[in-house]
Amino acid sequence: MGRLFWKFFLFIWLGQVAAIVGTGAFFWFEHQQSPRRADWPPPPPPQLGEHRPPPPEFARSGPPRPLPPPDGNRPGGPLPIFPLIAGLIASLLCAAGVAWYFAKPIRHLRNAFATAAEGNLDTRVGSAMDGRRDELADLGQDFDRMTVRLQALMAAQKRLLHDVSHEMRSPLARLQAAIGLARQQPGRLEDSLARIEREGERMNGLIGELLTLSRLEAGVSGPLEKVDLGELLAEIVEDARFEGVARQVGIDYAAAPGLVVRANPELLHRAIENVVRNGLRFSPTGTSLQIAAKPQADGMIRLHIADQGVGVPEAELEAIFTPFYRGRNLATGDGYGLGLAIARQVIATVNGKIAAKMKSDGSAGLLIEIVLPAAD
């Protein structure tokens, strides 16, 4: 038995003992104050001409028995020992049962926390609550949800570490190859230096993306301010049109006036630009990228970014927002696989949502919908 069991037991039992003793003493005291004789108080005096027999005390031989005292008090009697003992035993069993009822699930939770602290997150306590429907059962369910979430986070961290190692290995291998080529062929030194510089920039960009994602996951989003979404989108669309010329990809842009949101302008610009550039990457030659923004009656602003590429299978629509994800239908490209993950974190900091959807008309391509709360 744990300490909590004995504390519950002691407090509950002492409370019941005090109630039993106090109730027994009260009724015993009241019993001591009750009248002894059934003919007390004495009958009223006889009326004129009425004849009554003498009391039994005067009809008997011998000296008369003394009458009870005028106040009707009877002499003290014995305490009800056996009822008190029975009540104490009943209270003992009741206190032990109640203490066990509360201490048992708490002991399960304690063991589960100890197991989780050792690194085993497979422990679940919901099944050990014996069908309870109280706050302790809710606490057990919260523990199970916590361990599931921790397992997912740890798996994501391991996957991220693996992906980062994989992403860093390729440019490092090319750097080593360029250095070896420069040593073996001094005449191609300029080509080797250009390759080294390019791979260094790639590694620097990857590290910058990882730092941005890490800060966003830690809740560091910078100060928020009112941002004119129309102006911000106009800048992004201008850059996208410039990049799309080389690939013959057009931009169809339409936005309602007066769209204002509260966000960090730099991070919001980066998030939307990541989505737009991702759409440009997978837009075939001769197609166009549709960008539209309009207010909703519920006080939200909806931004649609749709391409006409190969699209994403429905089973992978949620997975594309995880770091370094490579879908079956996605080309490798020059990206790091972090753009959409960063976009989701940025949108979440302003209480917005971002989701990938299939087009409602059934046409090819991917639709990214961003929902942002309008600023007051």
- Catalytic positions are 166
Number of H helices and E strands in the chain, helices first, is: 8, 7
| Cα distance between residue 224 and residue 373, in whole Å | 13
Determine contact, residues 28/79, Cβ cutoff 8 Å: yes
Helix (H, G, I), strand (E, B), or coil: what is residue 331? coil
| Cα distance between residue 53 and residue 349, in whole Å | 103
| Cα distance between residue 205 and residue 157, in whole Å | 20
Read off the tokens for 288. Answer: 């166009």
Determine contact, residues 289/283, Cβ cutoff 8 Å: yes
| Cα distance between residue 311 and residue 258, in whole Å | 32
Read off the tokens for 191. Answer: 């080509």
- Closest alpha carbon to 168 in 209, 218, 216: 209
| Cα distance between residue 34 and residue 38, in whole Å | 11
Tell me which H or E stretch contains 233: helix 229-247
